[in-house]
Chains A and B, each alone.
Chain A
Amino acid sequence: MHDHVPKRKLPLSRKSAFHGIARQQMRENRPPGSVCAHFPSYDECRNKFRGYTQQLQDHALEVTGDSLECWVDEHVVVDRDELYRWLRNPEGAVFATPHYGPFVGAALMFAQEGQDGRPSNIFYDPTESVPDNERFDQLFGRFRNKLNVLHNKPRGLIKAVRALRKGQCISIMFDVVQRHSDCLFVPFFDKLYPAMGGAAYLSLLARAPLVPAYTIPESGQRLRVVFGEAIRPVDYDDVEKEQRIFLMTCALFSGFEAQLRGMPWHWIYWDNVRHASVYDEEAISDGASLHKVLCRRIDAYPQLLTAAPSLKALLDNA
């Protein structure tokens, strides 16, 4: 027998299955039933649009510095007025783009809008965290004079804030968590979904609006970039920083949920939703309900009390 058994990395969301868990069957990676119910031809739409997306993504990955302008002109459809409204915003803008449709095409559009002295900026995890991102490093490296690649490290974060404070724009992907040890949890499809507050944090630091951007494949090898409702830091000035980050991230995911309810086939991380913890709005209907739910969680995970004795104060007040 070998002493070392090959490790299989399970998504951390599965690891929260400590109480009341039924073992999951084979992964289906489908939206919740409540979403699919509205789309009897979901599978057909998914197959069609995933095909478009794959073709566009593959094509986009081959674009060079010389062919960038031509590719964007030929393949990208966007409301230019709205795009420039944000690109020319004096406070800059944080474009929050999920892994939705042919998102690489939107990044190319973004790169195309960069100029000497006022580049676009794209912020994502380094290859040390996500090895697959090496292909993006190779792609975006071809547009160095128009697009800065900023990696999700302390230095990259500082550069991102500086860029925003100069009125530049940043694109950041917000829908997948790599570091589960410090993520937030926000309501998303009746679940408490793990989310990073990075997009909101950058927006707050630089006072730049957070602008959701979604990429939708169309026939004819084209993609359309649509913008969601902007989330402005000034609207959250009446609460402290941590609550602001939380509320802005909630708003971001609320908009994303609305987008997905209309077109669920463009997103591939439904499994993460399936494995997330259930969120019942009744839990926050009043103070007594909230207290009850929190105490119930401690009862379900008695190790919480051992690890965090401060929680005893909650039980003492029950």
Chain B
Amino acid sequence: MTDRRHASIRDLVDRLIEKTAHEGRYPLICLPSMPAAFKLLDACAARGMPVMAVGHPALMEQWWQSADRYMATPLTLWRKCRDGVDLPAVTAIFQDQLVAVDNSYVRVQALGDVYHVSPIECMLITRFNPPCYIGLRVVGNDAETASRLELSTYQPKLQAPLTREDFRRVMADVLRPLAQMVNESPPDWVAGDVFTLKRGNNFNIMLSQQIRQMEALWRLYRRQHGILPDGLPLGNILRNAKAEIASIAR
């Protein structure tokens, strides 16, 4: 069921506090990376609620001043809370920031495309069955106004063991508002560029581009100096790196 009304950050925090008190458990919130979401978490912390946020630490440092107080990677968060009975804090997941090539990321067919996602939401929901919300961006009153946030109650009804179909369904629900935002291109969606890397082969292409740019710098160095840096077979290293990236089977 969607709770659709325009609410201020204070209203949203009031609802979260009320819900937490009623349920006796901290909620899981899937959020887009934007100032409204960061403000929401800051406001929760200011009202005495413990907060954890899962995203990409290096990116978050640039986008959110308070990030270092709450940030965790999917792995560190899971290790921190897996032995507990409930989530130990208001837990925000910024799936739009989570991109990687390691085995913790999963390919999922959703919304007519293939996405590479961290399964952290499903893991937490299956493990703790917390109250869940999906953050939805709503447009401000005019073009100059920052995006506002609404929290839509989310009841995925998952249970262990998680089936492939359930996983696909939940990830589609989490990704849907983000995929919609790609079309809207809100200027304050700071992870918009990063999110597109999750789709299809975009991340591999990005890695390949990085290696090629490094190769370009090496070739430009050769053009200018005519020699390679002493003792370092840069050409071989970069050639091998290109081949390794090209061979990644995802």
**A contact set with B: CB distance below 8 Å:** 1, 3-8, 10, 12, 14-21, 23-26, 180-187, 192, 194, 239, 243, 246-247, 250, 277, 283-284, 286-288, 290-291, 293-294, 297, 300-301, 303-304, 306-311, 313-314, 317
Q: List 24 A-B contacts (CB under 8 A).
A: A1-B176, A7-B113, A14-B196, A15-B193, A15-B197, A15-B205, A23-B193, A24-B187, A26-B187, A183-B209, A184-B212, A194-B209, A243-B219, A284-B220, A290-B217, A291-B229, A293-B217, A297-B213, A303-B99, A303-B203, A306-B102, A307-B248, A308-B211, A309-B244
**Residue pair A15, B208 in contact (C-beta under 8 Å):** no
Please pick, from B206, B223, B248, the residue contacting A247 in the complex, using a CB distance under 8 A: B223
**B contact set with A: CB distance below 8 Å:** 58-59, 62, 99-102, 111-113, 172, 176, 179-180, 182-183, 185, 187-190, 192-194, 196-197, 201-225, 229-232, 234, 237, 240-242, 244-245, 248
* 18 other A-B residue contacts (CB within 8 Å) besides A18-B59, A21-B190: A3-B112, A4-B112, A5-B179, A7-B182, A18-B99, A18-B197, A18-B206, A23-B189, A183-B212, A192-B213, A246-B219, A283-B217, A287-B229, A291-B229, A293-B217, A303-B207, A310-B240, A317-B232
Q: Residue on B with the closest CB to A8?
A: B183
Complex CA distance for A19 and B183, rounded to whole angstroms: 22
**Residue pair A3, B111 in contact (C-beta under 8 Å):** yes
Please pick, from A14, A15, A246, the residue contacting B216 in the complex, using a CB distance under 8 A: A246
Give chain A residues whose Cβ lies under 8 Å from the Cβ of B222: 239, 243
Give chain B residues whose Cβ lies under 8 Å from the Cβ of A301: 207, 210
**Residue pair A20, B205 in contact (C-beta under 8 Å):** no
Complex CA distance for A187 and B216, rounded to whole angstroms: 9
Give chain A residues whose Cβ lies under 8 Å from the Cβ of B245: 307-308
Complex CA distance for A4 and B203, rounded to whole angstroms: 21
**Residue pair A4, B111 in contact (C-beta under 8 Å):** yes
Give chain B residues whose Cβ lies under 8 Å from the Cβ of A182: 208
**Residue pair B213, A185 in contact (C-beta under 8 Å):** yes
Q: Residue on B with the closest CB to A14?
A: B193
Majority SS of interface residues in chain B?
helix
Please pick, from B194, B203, B218, the residue contacting A290 in the complex, using a CB distance under 8 A: B218
* Given A17-B194, A23-B192, A308-B211, A12:B205 Cβ within 8 A: yes
Complex CA distance for A203 and B234, rounded to whole angstroms: 27
Shortest distance from the beta carbon of B156 to any chain A beta carbon, whole Å: 14
Give chain A residues whose Cβ lies under 8 Å from the Cβ of B221: 284, 287, 290
* Given A7-B113, A184-B212, A284:B205 Cβ within 8 A: no
**Residue pair A314, B230 in contact (C-beta under 8 Å):** no
Give chain B residues whose Cβ lies under 8 Å from the Cβ of A194: 209
Shortest distance from the beta carbon of B247 to any chain A beta carbon, whole Å: 10
**Residue pair A15, B206 in contact (C-beta under 8 Å):** yes
Give chain A residues whose Cβ lies under 8 Å from the Cβ of B225: 284, 286-287
- Residue picked from B176, B193, B194, B232, most chain A C-beta under 10 Å: B193
Please pick, from A1, A306, A309, the residue contacting B100 in the complex, using a CB distance under 8 A: A306
Complex CA distance for A184 and B219, rounded to whole angstroms: 11
Complex CA distance for A304 and B232, rounded to whole angstroms: 19
Shortest distance from the beta carbon of B149 to any chain A beta carbon, whole Å: 17
* Given A5-B180, A17-B194, A290-B218, A277:B213 Cβ within 8 A: yes
**Residue pair B208, A181 in contact (C-beta under 8 Å):** yes
Give chain A residues whose Cβ lies under 8 Å from the Cβ of B244: 307-310
**Residue pair A6, B213 in contact (C-beta under 8 Å):** no
Give chain B residues whose Cβ lies under 8 Å from the Cβ of A1: 176
Shortest distance from the beta carbon of B71 to any chain A beta carbon, whole Å: 15
Give chain A residues whose Cβ lies under 8 Å from the Cβ of B217: 192, 283-284, 290, 293-294
Give chain A residues whose Cβ lies under 8 Å from the Cβ of B231: 317
